[in-house]
Structure 1
Amino acid sequence: MKVVVAIDSLKGSLSSLEAGQAIKEGVQVVYPEADVVVRPLADGGEGTVEALAIGMGGEIVHVSVTGPLGEPVTAKYGILKADGTRPKTAIIEMSAAAGITLVPDEKRNPMHTTTFGVGELIKDAIDNGCRHFIVGIGGSATNDGGIGMLQALGYDFLDKNGAPVAYGGAGLQSIARIQAENVLPELKDCTFRVACDVTNPLCGPMGSSAIYGPQKGATPEMVKELDEALLHYAELSKETFDHADRLYPGTGAAGGMGFAFLTYTNAVLESGIKIVLEETGLEDEMKDADFVITGEGRLDSQTALGKAPIGVAHLAKKHDKKVLAFAGCLTPDAGVCNENGIDAFFPILRRVITVQEAMEKETARENMIRSVEQVFRLIKAVQ
């Protein structure tokens, strides 16, 4: 028997790989000789670096970079060794260097927060030999159109006096000239898969400033100013790069970071779960599997709206595989998951305990093992 496991983390309890290993142990209680393949699962957001780097035999790198407020922060990213299908790869979460959680509530102001540290992470990865990048751009504190990142990579955004513009959204309006003479030469050899699950354009009523600016500290006046500044930046960018398209879906993601990647680098914007599933080679493992197992901390109707377990299920159904899911808890509307590729799902709680007790790592691990064991005892009994 071959079982392929790709389960999302049970947040606050088990990581993706810890949950996967517990499932493997449960299966092998019943089928000791089973080939159980565990792959990391994430959706491009928080936890993607750990899930992919550790789950695929990579390493975690820590580096001091410029934080969103212009002060040093220690950020981490993952590196995967080159293999037959891809070059040496960096896995980066934008939030590690420019995340909103790095900015206290009273200091949130997208006029001043910068993405410069994200560019420094990319530069460090380039210096470490990476030429392929997986980048999650969720959770940002910024609305600078990505110019901070681009400045760190060598692009010059200059004002009318030839001086570099200021950090943050405030610098956008004063851009008079864009120069690429000092860009890192290696950047042209780099490819970026950017995890982007929003479709907002760069500017306008559905743009980054209007939709996401307020949660980053923007007042109504700031929103108007930032939107006009992004439009100015987009028009100047179009003069330098013919393919610049401020209306392209996702260009407004992360305060315009989607626009920066698409316009200034060799990048594509894609669904986070699609990137992870493809980069981990999960589909190849599924082709000869007897069962595919997925899940997450809480299975509900939101799961069916494109979250990681449904991504796994849809991939498995391409090859007509049976899909089982395990979750820390279920909601009454979780049945919709059965209509989206999950053949059967199971809660792992085995007795009445408090939420705090249920989330203890060893308790969750034991519950997962024993729940999986019983499901596979049933499978063995009816075969």
Structure 2
Amino acid sequence: MSRRVVIAPDSFKGTCAASRAARAIAEGWTSVEPDADVVLRPMADGGEGTLEAFASAYPEARRVPVRVTGPAGWPVDAAWLLLPPDDDAPSGTGVVELASTSGIELLGGALRGRDASTLGFGQAVRAALDHGVSRVILGIGSSASTDGGIGLLTALDARFTDRHGVSVPPGAAGLDELDRVDLTRLRALPERGGTVLGDVTNPLTGPRGAATVFGPQKGLDASEVARADAGLARLARLLDADPDAPGAGAAGGTGFALLAWGAGLVGGAAEVAALTGLEGAIAGADVVITGEGSYDAQSADGKTPSFVVQRAREAGARIVIIAGRVADDAAAAGIETLSLTEIAGSAEAAMADPLRWLSEAGRRAARAEQG
């Protein structure tokens, strides 16, 4: 009987999407064991790679191209994913990813903390609604902005104005001037609702809020963080949602805007796993391989690889983690690790040709299986 190998990595952020990483690892494994029953289930938690994870799990899904306004205001060519109809969504499900429409990677390192916007994400959501989908699944990780989701809701026909009735500017800057919100023309959720995939549980405001915790990563200095936090508090008084709800602060407050729209927030990794059939794939597996760009103690405590590891343990499978870098504090009983940095000889070499070294890691994992 052929060995069953499930390959379920997260993305190697900035270098390789989860789906490409999974294929490269599989190529390495099958070069050693051609008869292995290899199942690919690339993972995501709502951030970069979410669309690819669904596309890999649903071969019949269709990409629908869309041109949107990127986080800095220039056009971005993106796509949303149309999943086939089923009993829960008779007109299909639209999967939309913030990372590819309003994500921080689209800025190319030129952060725009004050004026980056979620408008493009909202335009892609609107395109899915215009198509007539029965429900939407929205991945909101990897955002570039701290605009409280006002760009998103503006694209869905909400209006955010200052005290003179003039539309506020995009981004966190617009929150400074926000005085009034008009939701009378806001597009409704599709008939089967919306599910939001998030990777954090932070509230909207305060010491654990969107601006304080994540604003510096997006280019806000200390004074701008304070202004953005005050602006988000102002938004919280104008929209009917709980700013303290877990995940309200996700994606610079986009989680809060989506709660106000009526969508439900869930843990991204668990939901992606459920929707792509990860647990069914792992049941009866002999080997489970996961990984990400940098594997450390934080990865082992709540991030996507830890979710996969837990399911693999429950199935009694051999567990292998392949990562660009494996930190000294990441050691755990019963888990084998392979570092692309060590295999390639340096981090620079690993990042220059990640697919080559992922394939080599897959080969090494398979050879170790054979003893």
Give the TM-score category using the shorter length. 0.7 to 0.9
Specify the alignment match of 1:37 in structure 2: 39
Specify the alignment match of 2:201 in structure 1: 199
Measured in 2, the distance between the counterparts of 1:215 and 1:129 equals: 36
Measured on the aligned residues, the alpha-carbon RMSD in Å equals: 3.3
Specify the alignment match of 1:97 in structure 2: 101
Query: Partner of 1:189: helix, strand, or coil?
Result: coil
Measured in 2, the distance between the counterparts of 1:368 and 1:107 equals: 34
After TM superposition, give the deviation of residue 234 of structure 1 in Å: 1.2
Specify the alignment match of 1:250 in structure 2: 247
Question: Is 1:169 the counterpart of 2:172 in the alignment?
Answer: yes
Check 1:131–1:329 CA distance in 2 against 1; reply closer, same or farther (3 A cut): same
In the alignment, structure 1 segments of 5+ residues that lack a partner are: 379-383
After TM superposition, give the deviation of residue 13 of structure 1 in Å: 6.2
Check 1:153–1:5 CA distance in 2 against 1; reply closer, same or farther (3 A cut): same
Larger radius of gyration: 1
Aligned partner of 2:370: which letter? R
Question: Is 1:376 the counterpart of 2:333 in the alignment?
Answer: no
Query: CA deviation digits over 1:115-138, x for unaligned, max 9?
Result: 222110100122233343333323
Aligned partner of 1:344: which letter? E
Check 1:166–1:370 CA distance in 2 against 1; reply closer, same or farther (3 A cut): closer
Question: Is 1:288 the counterpart of 2:284 in the alignment?
Answer: yes
After TM superposition, give the deviation of residue 317 of structure 1 in Å: 2.6
Q: Does the CA contact (< 8 Å) of 1:6 and 1:293 recur in 2?
A: yes
Check 1:84–1:304 CA distance in 2 against 1; reply closer, same or farther (3 A cut): same
Query: CA deviation digits over 1:216-262, x for unaligned, max 9?
Result: 3445444333333322221222xxx3xx2112222122221111011
Aligned pair count reads 366
Query: Partner of 2:199: helix, strand, or coil?
Result: coil
After TM superposition, give the deviation of residue 84 of structure 1 in Å: 5.2
Q: Give the one of 345, 357, 360 matched to 1:364.
A: 357
Q: Give the one of 299, 303, 308 matched to 1:307.
A: 303
Q: Which moved more, 1:287-296 or 1:345-354?
A: 345-354
Q: Give the one of 122, 125, 148 matched to 2:125.
A: 122
Aligned partner of 1:205: which letter? P
Check 1:7–1:176 CA distance in 2 against 1; reply closer, same or farther (3 A cut): closer
Specify the alignment match of 2:258 in structure 1: 261
Measured in 2, the distance between the counterparts of 1:192 and 1:3 equals: 33
Query: Partner of 2:252: helix, strand, or coil?
Result: helix
Query: Partner of 2:5: helix, strand, or coil?
Result: strand
TM-score, normalisation: structure 2: 0.83
Specify the alignment match of 2:85 in structure 1: 82
Question: Is 1:152 the counterpart of 2:144 in the alignment?
Answer: no
Q: Does the CA contact (< 8 Å) of 2:197 and 2:267 recur in 1?
A: yes
Q: Give the one of 58, 68, 93 matched to 2:71.
A: 68
Check 1:24–1:182 CA distance in 2 against 1; reply closer, same or farther (3 A cut): same
Could you tell me the percent identity over the aligned residues?
A: 39
Measured in 1, the distance between the counterparts of 2:336 and 2:46 equals: 26
Q: Give the one of 47, 50, 71 matched to 2:49.
A: 47
Query: Partner of 1:172: helix, strand, or coil?
Result: helix
Measured in 1, the distance between the counterparts of 2:86 and 2:52 equals: 19
Q: Does the CA contact (< 8 Å) of 2:203 and 2:245 recur in 1?
A: yes
Query: CA deviation digits over 1:73-110, x for unaligned, max 9?
Result: 33333333234565633333323333344458777242
Q: Does the CA contact (< 8 Å) of 1:27 and 1:376 recur in 2?
A: no
Q: Does the CA contact (< 8 Å) of 1:327 and 1:347 recur in 2?
A: yes
Check 1:216–1:370 CA distance in 2 against 1; reply closer, same or farther (3 A cut): closer
Aligned partner of 2:258: which letter? F
Check 1:283–1:123 CA distance in 2 against 1; reply closer, same or farther (3 A cut): same
Query: CA deviation digits over 1:156-209, x for unaligned, max 9?
Result: 334455443433334335544433332224x24253332323333222233223
Specify the alignment match of 2:274 in structure 1: 278
Check 1:285–1:65 CA distance in 2 against 1; reply closer, same or farther (3 A cut): same
Measured in 2, the distance between the counterparts of 1:282 and 1:325 equals: 16
Measured in 2, the distance between the counterparts of 1:109 and 1:69 equals: 10
Q: Which moved more, 1:137-146 or 1:188-197?
A: 188-197
Check 1:182–1:3 CA distance in 2 against 1; reply closer, same or farther (3 A cut): same
Check 1:291–1:109 CA distance in 2 against 1; reply closer, same or farther (3 A cut): closer
Specify the alignment match of 1:381 in structure 2: none
Check 1:162–1:15 CA distance in 2 against 1; reply closer, same or farther (3 A cut): closer
Measured in 2, the distance between the counterparts of 1:355 and 1:275 equals: 32
After TM superposition, give the deviation of residue 286 of structure 1 in Å: 2.0
